[in-house]
């Protein structure tokens, strides 16, 4: 029976192969008491181990130099810097001298202390560096006990690397010709291991704590680095679907260079803005901003969730300014703090709720705690002086909520103007449509909102009354439901009548099978995870506006989800296949 395990997408792509377990810790660490006259010998052993690990890391760095991006090769420079840090060496030697423990034990103790320091840091990138310390400690202890990690030989067979974590030195033992994917129990999206996986082009999912218990070496599995999903013992249907996706991705990769920087237009010239979703500033560092129209959804909550206390106004300003600079003049839509539900803040006590997804979250929480809202909106206003910023309100249900926020925004803008602090006086305020009751009252809200963004993840869930994370009913969660399409049309029509832009920022924006329908329903802005931008652009360039409108009209008239899906299968999929196999278009 297939089992689906959800983690964090760390490197894009899909992989299908048997899992191989790798154990990243040494089985046995020797322990003994060091006599007074044995201390110099332990220090000499440390010098020898440092020299050996230096040689190994330098060789690995040179080996990978041709496979990694130049800035990623510097990961090994960071490890070498730790290895030769004078303070690190002094602390290890002091541990031996003061406590008379052997070098292996001293290294473990010092590394553990350093890890504790990194774990307490506010900056999540710095917390991730604890993995580098563990890696250096493992390599040094391995050198001391003459435990050389053997390079894995896959014997010509493809495989998936599964371990507690993927550390930089692990790249040296991989059979890179046959590794197809990486899945780990620990580690973050911005760990050095995840960065290496992305640079090497290996699909990677991290943070599946139970992966080593749930899986077995030799068992077939699928790693979906786009969705952050691992499927163990996949069904024949799932294997067939992902095999198709693999074939499709190869074809897409061939076409990306042709359309990457071309306009996002239908063949008859209808422009559709394709924007990127971002979880933080670091997502912008790897984003090819020239390939999109801007940032359609900047999820500010992740910066709050990674910290141990609320960020100050100045700290938020610094973050939002970095986002504005990374967008290089393109618009950035900052969604105000959307915590609660499945996104709690560890430092902010929230009440126990039987159904937190329908509880105290989003704009409801911020209006109850106005200091949070005031600080964040003032910070966004200050950052808006650098370009085109927009503010998006989540979980809106009534006009009165927008009125209250508009009053706050106007007052903050007046205060900044009075004190000579620069900001964009034309900054836009938008509402996120994700609560179904907002749809019938949208005409009341639109006069005081500048734009609309549809959060289809929650909207579809609420419309269908289905928890998509509940395995008993998840199969019933389907945004191709005719009722969902009709609601999406209503939103687009009302926004157009009010002269306001309407965008989609939920998952269906990045689902290329949905692209012709969304364009036909009237949407001209789609915001998605960057990995899906090429697919959507390719699909957009496959259908004229008239064809999109015809498909949408027919889908709206259908009476079942299966009928809509047959339309996709019969008319959208064949065009997609032809597009992938078509020769290059004339450059526009």
Structure tokens at 117: 């320091």
One DSSP character per residue, 371-399 reads HHHHHHHHHHHHHGGGS-EEEEESS---H
Cα–Cα distances in angstroms (integers) from residue 173 to residues 24, 152, 189, in the given order: 11, 6, 22
292 as an active site residue: the answer is: no
Nearest Cα to Cα of residue 479 among 443, 454, 446, 451: 454
Catalytic residue among 204, 366, 505, 548: 505
Which residue carries 């040494």 as its tokens? 26
505 as an active site residue: the answer is: yes
Cα–Cα distances in angstroms (integers) from residue 464 to residues 353, 492, 506, in the given order: 21, 20, 16
Q: What angle do CA 360, 494, 455 make, to 5 degrees?
A: 35
Cα Rg, the chain, nearest whole Å: 26
Residue 528 CA to residue 278 CA, distance in Å, equals: 9
Residue 552 CA to residue 546 CA, distance in Å, equals: 10
Cα–Cα distances in angstroms (integers) from residue 21 to residues 29, 164, 260, 387, 417, in the given order: 21, 9, 37, 48, 60
Question: Do 509 and 458 meet the contact criterion of CB atoms below 8 Å apart?
Answer: no
Backbone phi, then psi, for 305, in 5-degree steps?
Answer: -70, -25
Question: Do 5 and 219 meet the contact criterion of CB atoms below 8 Å apart?
Answer: no
E strand or H helix at 366, and its extent? helix 362-368
Terminal C-alpha separation, the chain: 49
Catalytic residue among 192, 292, 366, 481: 192
- The alpha carbon of residue 284 and the mean position of all alpha carbons in its chain are separated, in whole angstroms, by 11
Residue 523 CA to residue 296 CA, distance in Å, equals: 14
One DSSP character per residue, 466-490 reads --TT-TTTGGG--TT-HHHHHHHHH
Residue 373 CA to residue 191 CA, distance in Å, equals: 31
Three-state SS annotation for 221-290 = EEEECCCCEEEECCCHHHHHHHHHHHHHHHHHHHHHHHHCCCCCECCCCCECEEEEEECCHHHHHCCCHH
Would you please indicate which residues are annotated as catalytic (active-site) residues?
192, 505
């Amino acid at each position: 029976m297939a089992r689906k395990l959800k983690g964090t997408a760390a490197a894009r792509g899909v992989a299908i192969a048997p899992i191989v377990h790798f154990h990243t810790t040494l089985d046995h660490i020797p322990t003994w008491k060091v006599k007074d006259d044995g201390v110099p010998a332990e220090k000499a052993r440390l010098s020898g181990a440092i020299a050996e690990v230096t040689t190994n890391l330098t060789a690995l760095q040179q080996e990978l130099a041709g496979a990694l991006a130049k800035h990623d090769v510097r990961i090994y420079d960071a490890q070498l810097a730790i290895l030769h840090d004078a303070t690190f060496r002094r602390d290890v030697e002091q541990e031996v001298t003061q406590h008379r423990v052997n070098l292996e034990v001293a290294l473990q103790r010092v590394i553990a202390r350093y890890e504790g320091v990194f774990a307490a840091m506010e900056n999540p990138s710095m917390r991730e560096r604890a993995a580098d310390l563990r890696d250096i400690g493992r390599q040094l202890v391995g050198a001391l006990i003459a435990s050389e990690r053997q390079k894995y030989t896959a014997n010509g067979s493809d495989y998936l690397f599964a371990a507690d974590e993927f550390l930089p030195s692990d790249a040296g033992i991989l059979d890179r010709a046959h590794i197809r994917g990486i899945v780990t129990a620990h580690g973050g999206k911005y760990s050095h291991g995840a960065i290496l996986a992305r640079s090497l082009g290996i699909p990677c999912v991290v943070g599946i704590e139970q992966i080593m218990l749930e899986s077995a070496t030799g068992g077939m599995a699928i790693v979906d680095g786009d969705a952050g999903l691992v499927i163990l013992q996949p069904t024949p249907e799932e294997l067939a679907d992902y095999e198709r996706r693999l074939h499709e991705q190869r074809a897409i990769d061939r076409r990306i260079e042709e359309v990457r920087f071309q306009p996002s237009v239908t063949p008859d010239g209808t422009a559709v803005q394709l924007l990127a979703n971002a979880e933080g500033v670091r997502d912008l560092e790897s984003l090819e901003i020239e390939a999109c129209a801007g940032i359609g959804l900047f999820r500010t909550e992740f910066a709050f969730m990674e910290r141990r206390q609320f960020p100050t106004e100045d700290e938020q300003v610094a973050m939002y300014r970095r986002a504005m600079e990374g967008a290089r003049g393109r618009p950035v839509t900052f969604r105000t703090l959307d915590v609660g539900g499945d996104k709690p803040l560890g430092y902010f006590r929230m009440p126990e709720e039987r159904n937190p997804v329908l509880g105290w979250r989003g704009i409801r929480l911020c209006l109850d705690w106005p200091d949070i809202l005031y600080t964040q909106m003032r910070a966004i206003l200050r950052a808006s002086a650098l370009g085109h910023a927009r503010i998006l309100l989540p979980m809106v249900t009534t006009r009165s909520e927008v009125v209250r926020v508009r009053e706050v925004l106007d007052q903050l803008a007046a205060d900044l103007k009075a004190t000579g602090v620069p900001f964009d006086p034309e900054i836009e305020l938008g509402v996120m449509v994700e609560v179904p009751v907002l749809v019938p009252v949208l005409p009341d809200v639109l006069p005081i909102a500048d734009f609309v963004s549809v959060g289809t993840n929650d909207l579809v869930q609420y419309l269908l009354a289905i928890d998509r994370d509940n395995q008993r009913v998840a199969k019933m969660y389907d945004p191709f439901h005719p009722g969902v399409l009709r609601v999406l049309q209503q939103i687009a029509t009302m926004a157009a009548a009010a002269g306001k832009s309407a965008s989609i920022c939920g998952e269906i924006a990045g689902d290329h099978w949905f692209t012709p329908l969304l364009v036909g329903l009237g949407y001209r802005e789609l915001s998605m995870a960057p990995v899906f931008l090429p697919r959507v652009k390719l699909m957009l360039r496959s259908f004229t506006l008239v064809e999109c409108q015809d498909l949408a009209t027919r889908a709206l008239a259908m009476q079942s989800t299966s009928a809509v899906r047959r339309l996709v299968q019969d008319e959208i999929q064949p065009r997609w296949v032809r597009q992938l196999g078509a020769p290059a278009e004339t450059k526009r």
